[in-house]
A and B are shown apart, each in its own frame.
Chain A
């Protein structure tokens, strides 16, 4: 009965106040009403209300009160209130009531009101609401009573996490800085920390608390993509607090356990990225990976095998976390097995992006480095088997980086496995990538930066930064010392600077051949290594000097050179042989190309020879297409030839890239090159001889040569070479036919598994678009063109290889430019036809 009377009393009072507020024009009445309402919120001793009344008001009438107040923002009495009255009577109603209700009302009002001075008022009060730490109160209130209805929680959660969006949508440029995500989320994070702090105190005081709401907030914020700023604030503090405090540890574990499953992943990845060391991570996360299925999946599978965007420290943290506890240790072995399988999987090597393979390799090396010898001993047979398979599939790859990666990982694995004391050892070029991989074998040497100051990590960095340059400058004065040799006496020979002595070569008894036929004879039949070497060295020069003699024996000599083996390990053999063959091809293009292109598809050649054929043809075509104007090309070509690096695909790719770049630019700028003396293009008339015979027979597998099957290395190179021919045929009359034929040819291998082949295809397509006259693009290719376009778009979007994607994009751009030009200028088309 008494309760009932309290209820009705409060209701009466409140209703009266509302009436006053809505109807009264007398300021005094209004202030009275506001004072009455305020008295319900006043906890102080001089308050005129009982605690039961206050309770009732908070429960039933507070929201309504606020709504009434918001509804009367434009009322006369509102304008009549002096600023002091406003801050004493009006503001406290918003700032001292239950924060959850306030937040809801405020957000609702902000979305509904149109811009006016009233809205201004509301925004300021919201700002003050945030600044005065009401969010922590809000979170804390939910820690204490978790009885609120799920709908209410849901709405509140949404408002809480979406506050920056709501305000930004409404206020546009007039938004307050505190509502910007950069400020709001760190604020929210520190409010969550405050709530956790209070929870800890309460737990020590023996009060039960629930962390569900905080955990939900955290999860929701993270899933919305704000894990970075939030955890950057929260994690250092948590890591610090959990160092010695068991209560804090329990709170942290509970917090993460309470994160709903659908948000678990984003929270965990955020935490992992914020964690600086495995220790801190394991203190905060605890054994979550064992109890929570989702966490288990994310940490042992998803982050390691499916995603590969994370930095290496993340891998270090996760794997170190798994390794650091006895209970989690079995997981590490599990991880090793799955990572090993992923690494060794031949199809993964072929089909996954390089970055992912690098990531998996890193994970594998890290895992192996964390395992103990005894554990490795148990896993040895598995490990060995997987390693051998994996090595094979890596070494089979046509991409240098993958091969190198395989070698490095193989070395690391074998060094840990102790196979009768033997180790794998490969020769590869050290670069940043291999060094990083190798460095993962040694456990992280940097001391754990845990003595963090209480106010967070950024401070530590500030301290560390200035110390670095001093260290660097301290080391520099040591370098110029080298000049002063300790035992330099005036008498020594050191002041005599040597002359160039590179001409000091070993003498040979025989003299180089003077006639081309002698040279050929020696190459065919001589057993004298010196004479063979001299002949080979002289061959290119002789061919170029005696054009007529060379034409008589060009095919025969090409044949001899093609079949020549490096019996005497002559220095620079490959380059010399290639130079001679290129010279022959240039001098006598038609018969030699006929011979070479026929031989390319015939039986009994090694892959190396077939590649040589392609290289020779490519170089010859390049030389032919250069203007013949300057006669002293001899020196230039030899210098080019000495840098014989054709077996390095990276180099090849660079050349292609450069070429495309330069070409692309030229189209956009028009012809900016200075007008050089015109010279006949020697390549244009013979381009067809280089090009078309290679298109034949590619799909006819021989016993020894299966272009579409296992010999994909040659296929890739073939397509590259064809693309090069196409590119060089710019402005040649035959270019249109070549382009059509080439597009037709590559259609069959567009989706080849090997990325080198795919790159070749894309390069060829690029060169088609570059070299074909734009009018014939439409006329000759027609429908094929649009089909090609969709394919290119598909590749540009979905190819696992980054180079392929960019090449496809480039082709698309070229194609569009060319088409646009054509369509904007229909006159050219009609003239042509």
Chain B
């Protein structure tokens, strides 16, 4: 029958502030790391072997960190704070200094989105100064690519995700707005490709799986909406999943495309099978809202953890459905 509800493998304490953003970095052969950005403006770099904070980076002048990520190449870390800055950090050889920064002008909570177009260049999409404005900048040259403004009032930009389709079209951008609608922008044409009203409430988060051309978005209601991008780049709503409690702050799909995790306002992380959105597990540990989830990109599938950062200032790490991935791998080689 069903297995008993799982419990975390371990937890990380000491951030002493709500954890807004989590990011794994597990380069081959090196120590697996977890970056966490807190509401106090501190970035913790956790060593997952010793389970201690290796380094603490203070930045964004004590303002809350909204988002952080690393570049595929090298040790560069990008973080976005509520001080309207996006900073690029050099972490090589124990340094921890901001080498570059971009001013966004946004007062909202929209996390920015990163798309690496070539080994050296990458695009950043972030909310701009105006309410509905989205800015796209090419890095590291800091050259603005475009500014996207919808022609109707949609409210603030809530979440973004850049996507480079295989078809060779220019990068596309999903954007969720305050009134619950979701737009698909063509960045190069600066035109709106498709628009859909995914939620009655603001779109709090979205994530997209390029392989299946399917995505899912959450709001502050008891529902996750899944949707599909067809060959004409139209967003089509599909079935939705009903949650027990309302409110989702983040959604993540595991790299192998098997699992979807949601960070719930009800202190729980929910895990779904991504193909059919079948509920698989409810991870209960935190005592406050879960703000962020992240899947590890570790090379060994068995060590691919799920991390959840919560407002209760703790990070929990879960080992879930690792062994089945392993089994499936074996099955396919047989």
Contact B324 A501 (CB under 8 A): no
Asked whether A500 lies within 8 Å of B2 as measured between CB atoms, the reply is yes
The residues in B between 212 and 268 inclusive whose CB is less than 8 angstroms from any CB of A are: 244-245, 258-259, 266-268
Partner of B275, one of A491, A497, A500, A505: A491
Q: Nearest-CB distance from B226 to chain A (Å)?
A: 13
The reply to whether B278 and A504 contact each other, CB–CB distance below 8 Å, is: no
Q: Which of B290-326 contact A (CB under 8 A)?
A: 321, 324
A477 CB-CB contact with B under 8 Å: no
Question: How close is A388's CB to chain B, nearest CB, in angstroms?
Answer: 46
- Contact yes or no, B244 A504, CB < 8 A: yes
Report yes or no: A493 in contact with B274, Cβ–Cβ below 8 A: yes
Residue pair A495, B328 in contact (C-beta under 8 Å) = yes
Partner of A498, one of B259, B267, B280: B280
Residues of A within 8 A of B275 (CB): 491-493
Give Cα A507 to B287, complex, Å: 12
Contact B5 A496 (CB under 8 A): no
In the complex, how many angstroms separate the beta carbon of B77 from the nearest chain A beta carbon? 33
Report whether A500 and B3 are in contact in the complex, using a CB–CB cutoff of 8 Å. yes
Residue in contact with A493 in the complex, picked from B4, B270, B278, CB distance below 8 Å: B278
Closest to B246 in A: A507
Provide the residues of chain B in CB contact with A493, threshold 8 Å: 258, 273-276, 278, 280
Q: CB distance A496 to B279 under 8 Å?
A: no
Q: How large is the interface on B (under 10, 10 to 19, 20 to 34, 35 or more residues)?
A: 20 to 34
Complex CA–CA separation, A503 to B283 (angstroms): 9
Q: Known: A504-B268, A506-B245, A507-B267. Contact between A499 and B281, CB under 8 A?
A: yes
A490 to B2, CA, bound (A): 21
Q: Does B284 contact A (CB under 8 A)?
A: yes
Q: How far is the CB of A88 from chain B (nearest CB, A)?
A: 87
Q: Is the CB of A498 within 8 A of B278?
A: yes
B243 nearest CB neighbor, chain A only: A504
Rounded to whole angstroms, the CA-CA distance of A507 and B273 in the bound complex is: 23
Contact, CB under 8 Å: A501 / B266: no
**Nearest-CB distance from B235 to chain A (Å)?**
23
| A496 vs B258: C-alpha distance when bound (angstroms) | 9
Contact with A along B1-30 (1 / 0, CB 8 A): 011111000000000000000000000000
Indicate whether A500 sits within 8 Å of B280 (C-beta atoms), given known contacts A493-B273, A495-B324, A505-B244.
no
Nearest A residue to B2 via CB reads A500
A409 to B276, CA, bound (A): 48
**Of A490, A491, A501, A506, the contact of B5 (CB 8 Å cutoff):** A501
Contact, CB under 8 Å: B4 / A499 = yes
Q: Which residues of B lie under 8 Å from residue A492 when comparing CB positions?
A: 273, 275-276
Q: Which residues of B contact A501 (CB under 8 A)?
A: 2, 5, 279, 281-282
Closest to B222 in A: A506
Complex contact B282–A507 (CB within 8 A):
no
A496–B280 contact, CB under 8 A?
yes
Q: How far is the CB of B310 from chain A (nearest CB, A)?
A: 14
With known contacts A492-B276, A496-B273, A504–B282 Cβ distance under 8 A: yes
B42 CB → nearest A CB, Å = 29
> A265 vs B328: C-alpha distance in the bound complex, in angstroms?
77
In A743-758, the 8 Å CB interface with B consists of none
Interface residues of B in 84-116 (CB under 8 A from A): none
Contact flag A499-B258 (CB < 8 Å), given A492-B275, A504-B244: no
B302 to chain A, nearest CB (A): 15
Q: How far is the CA of A502 from the CA of B267 in the complex (A)?
A: 15
Contacts of A500 in B (CB 8 A): 2-5
Q: Which residue of B lies closest to A504 (CB)?
A: B282
Beyond A493-B258, A506-B244, whether A499 also contacts B274 by CB under 8 A is: no
For the complex, give the distance between the alpha carbons of A490 and B331 in Å.
10
Please, how many angstroms separate the alpha-carbon atoms of A496 and B327 in the complex? 11
Please tell me if the beta carbons of A503 and B282 are within 8 angstroms of each other in the complex. Answer: yes
How far apart are the CA atoms of A505 and B327 in the complex, in Å? Answer: 32
Once the chains are docked, how many angstroms separate the CA of A767 from the CA of B169? 87
Q: How far is the CB of A236 from chain B (nearest CB, A)?
A: 55
Q: For residue B281, which residues in chain A have a CB less than 8 angstroms away from its CB? A: 498-499, 501
Contact with B along A460-500 (1 / 0, CB 8 A): 00000000000000000000000000000011110111111
The answer to whether B3 and A499 touch across the interface, beta carbons within 8 angstroms, is yes
Cα distance, A504 to B242, chains bound together (Å): 12
Q: Is the CB of A499 within 8 A of B280?
A: yes
Contact in complex: B278, A499 (CB < 8 Å): no
**Interface membership of chain B positions 46-64, coded 1 if the CB is closer than 8 angstroms to chain A and 0 otherwise:** 0000000000000000000
Once the chains bind, are B4 and A496 in contact (CB under 8 Å)? no
Q: Which residues of B contact A502 (CB under 8 A)?
A: 5
Which residues on the A side are within 8 Å of B259 (C-beta)?
496
Q: In whole angstroms, how far apart are the Cα atoms of A502 and B327 in the complex?
A: 27
B325 and chain A: residue at smallest CB distance: A496
Q: Which residue of B lies closest to A499 (CB)?
A: B281
| B282 and A496 contacting across the interface, CB-CB below 8 Å | no
Residue pair A496, B321 in contact (C-beta under 8 Å) = yes
Query: With A505-B244, A506-B245, A507-B267 given, is the CB distance from A497 to B2 under 8 Å?
Result: yes
Task: Quote the shortest CB–CB distance from B11 to chain A (angstroms).
Answer: 18
Q: Which residues from chain A contact B6 at a C-beta distance below 8 Å? A: 499
B3: chain A residues at CB < 8 Å are 497, 499-500
Output the residue of A500, A502, A505 with the most chain B CB within 10 A. A500
Contact in complex: B2, A498 (CB < 8 Å): yes
A496 to chain B, nearest CB (A): 5
B279 CB contacts on chain A under 8 angstroms: 498, 501
- CB neighbours (8 Å) of A496 from chain B are 258-259, 273, 278, 280, 321, 324
Give the distance to chain B from A253, nearest Cβ to Cβ, in Å: 67
**B258 contacts across to A, CB distance below 8 A:** 493, 496
How near does chain A come to B288, taking the closest CB pair, in angstroms? 11
Looking across the interface, which residue of chain A has its beta carbon closest to that of B327?
A: A495
Given the known interface contacts A493-B258, A493-B278, the answer about A499 and B245 at a Cβ–Cβ threshold of 8 Å is no
Cα distance A491–B4 when bound, in Å? 25
A554 to B258, CA, bound (A): 55
Residue on B with the closest CB to A495? Answer: B324
B328: which A residues are within 8 A, CB to CB? 490, 495
Closest to B265 in A: A507
Residues from chain A with Cβ under 8 Å of B282 in the complex: 499, 501, 503-504
A553-B328 Cα distance, complex, nearest whole Å = 61
Shortest distance between the CB of B210 and any CB in chain A (Å): 16
- Asked if A499 meets B2 with Cβ closer than 8 Å, knowing A492-B276, A493-B275, A507-B266, the reply is yes
For the complex, give the distance between the alpha carbons of A503 and B273 in Å: 19
Residue B245 contacts which of A490, A495, A497, A507 (CB distance < 8 angstroms)? A507
**Cα–Cα distance between A499 and B244 once the two chains are bound (Å):** 16
C-alpha gap A499/B327 in the complex (Å): 18
Q: Which residues of A sit under 8 angstroms from B278, Cβ to Cβ? A: 493, 496, 498
User: Which residues of A sit under 8 angstroms from B321, Cβ to Cβ?
Assistant: 496
Chain B nearest CB: distance from A501 CB in Å?
5
Instruction: Please give me the residue from chain A that is nearest to B266 by CB atom.
Output: A507
Query: Considering the chains assembled together, what is the distance between the CA atoms of A651 and B278 in angstroms?
Result: 39
Q: In the docked arrangement, what's the CA distance between A492 and B280, Å?
A: 13
In the assembled complex, the Cα of A504 lies from the Cα of B268 at a distance in Å of 9
Assembly CA distance A609 to B281 (angstroms): 42
Give the CA-CA distance A490 to B257 in the complex, in Å: 13
Residue of B nearest to A492 (CB): B275
8 Å CB interface, A694-749 against B: none
Complex CA–CA separation, A504 to B281 (angstroms): 9
Bound Cα distance A507, B278 (Å): 21
CB contacts (< 8 Å) of B266 on chain A: these are 507
Q: A493-B275, A496-B258 are in contact. Are A503 and B5 (CB under 8 A)?
A: yes
Residue ID in chain B nearest A502 by CB atoms: B5
B206 to chain A, nearest CB (A): 21
Q: Top 4 closest A-B pairs, CB basis?
A: A493-B273, A499-B281, A504-B282, A500-B2
Between A and B, 11 residue pairs with Cβ closer than 8 Å are A491-B275, A495-B324, A495-B327, A496-B258, A497-B324, A498-B279, A499-B282, A500-B2, A503-B284, A504-B268, A504-B284
Extra inter-chain contacts (13) besides given A490-B332, A497-B3, A498-B281, CB under 8 Å: A491-B275, A492-B275, A493-B278, A495-B328, A496-B259, A496-B273, A503-B284, A504-B244, A504-B270, A504-B282, A504-B284, A506-B244, A507-B245
